[in-house]
Amino acid sequence: MALVLFATAGAAILGAWALYQLGVTKNRGAVDKNYRYLMSVGEMQQLRGAKLDTTEEDGLWAERMGQLAALARLYPGNARLIMQTAAECGDPTLVDRMVSAASIYATGNDTISRLSDEVTALLRSVPQRSNPNVVPWMATPEWEALKQAILYDSALINQAGRLTGVEPRLIAGCLIGEQIRLFSSKREVYKRYLGPVKMIVQSQFSHGVNGIKDFTAEAVEEHLRDPQSEYYMGPAYEHLLDFATDNHAEERYRRLVDYGNHLYSYIYTGCILHQTMLQWRRAGYDISDRPDLLFTLFNIGFSQSHPKPDPMPGGSHITVGDREYTFGAIGFDFYYSGELARVFPIRANHFDDNGKTLTADEIELVQGSMTDCRRPERGSEYRRDSLPLSPALPFQEKEEPDPFGIDPSNVVPLDHTAR
């Protein structure tokens, strides 16, 4: 019996070896049944290197978005991913290739093609225009220059957002409202400083780049320390604005008018936004998702902040070009424009209380971030090579995730005065 089993096993082994030698077991592969389609996707002409003017490129994007709209009627998830990827790569022709790749497996291709052709035909029936911006004040040279100036302070604005628990984009919106007001009322300010060197300038209405008044700053400090206040932000923030000296008035002034480092201006701004939001929330009205109201209330001040069920945005009137806006509208326009979104993204939670109290050493480092704020020789405060460098703060250097999910690679280093 054993002999029979050994003989059978031997025959099986010899048979398997023979099949292997004959090549029967080799996987020769196969030509994909969609090979012609895959070839066409791979061979699509790329227009990335083509010399398209702005109007042609805008037209190309419009048609590709129409193509995605057609795909989205049947496969919205795929369309969303394709749109995000193409926008990130900045290549409208990528939409062609990605839609074609997805269509290999799509059911209802005839429907997608028909819708895509109809949308494209409709778009081509309207001449493509290349207007600079749908928001009039954002189509001005002042705004283009101001954007560059804000980028130099982006690390400070993001830092202030972390310290105050406020979405940095809200702080930036307050800054923009104040700066646009300066440039529209004082054209020589733009011509002399913002236009040539693209630097944020000090307010001529009150103190610092965000135009914060003495009594407003003092009120912010009192709200931080008073648990009974309707503006109280919680124990984690009580010592945020502690003073390093006994001369609070002088130190407060130096904080707000510091020409070399605007961090304190942004911290006070963040506190005003956070405190005002809490005042309204405690009164039964949640305005945390109403940037238009938050910008308005920042502009008009604590004394005119009266929680009510039907608030109206507004604030100071600002004339840019031949149009008149309100402070709240300027901030609202920026917030939802998508401008500077990589540096100041819109977050799901606009206010954050992580409950973490700053240590005494951390507070001392914030205080030590101030520079010699004596006014430099007139005009030199807007030259980058004349500004002192600000020391780095430890909160930026920690590897723990940013509470707002900000990618450090997308922000300017804290040394915002360096070219």
Confidence at residue 295, expressed as pLDDT on a 0 to 100 scale: 96
Confidence at residue 360, expressed as pLDDT on a 0 to 100 scale: 84
Confidence at residue 85, expressed as pLDDT on a 0 to 100 scale: 87
Chain centre to alpha carbon of residue 10: 72
Q: How many CB atoms lie within 10 A of CB 62?
A: 17
Q: Which two tokens stand for residue 172?
A: 């930036």
Q: What is the DSSP string of 132-191?
A: S-SSGGGGSHHHHHHHHHHHHTHHHHHHHHHHHTB-HHHHHHHHHHHHHHHHHH-HHHII
Report d(CA 299, CA 103) in Å as an integer.
Answer: 52
Q: Are 180 and 330 in contact (CB under 8 A)?
A: yes
Confidence at residue 413, expressed as pLDDT on a 0 to 100 scale: 36
Q: Which two tokens stand for residue 224?
A: 């931080």
pTM, two decimal places: 0.75
Confidence at residue 302, expressed as pLDDT on a 0 to 100 scale: 95
φ and ψ of 317, to 5 deg: -85, 135
Confidence at residue 333, expressed as pLDDT on a 0 to 100 scale: 95
> What residue ranges of the chain have pLDDT lower than 50?
31-39, 41-49, 190-191, 194-197, 376-392, 394-400, 402-406, 408, 410-419
**Domain edges within the chain:** 35-124, 136-410
Buried/exposed 345-382: b ≥16 CB within 10 Å, e otherwise: eebeebbbeeeeebeeebbebbbebbbebeebeeeebb
Number of residues assigned to the chain: 419
Helix or strand or coil: residue 345? coil
Report d(CA 128, CA 132) in Å as an integer.
Answer: 13
168-185 vs 327-335: helix crossing angle, rounded to 10 = 130
Q: Hunting for tokens 């749908």 — which residue is that?
A: 134
Going by C-alpha positions, the residue among 340, 343, 311 that lies closest to residue 328 is 311
Confidence at residue 108, expressed as pLDDT on a 0 to 100 scale: 66
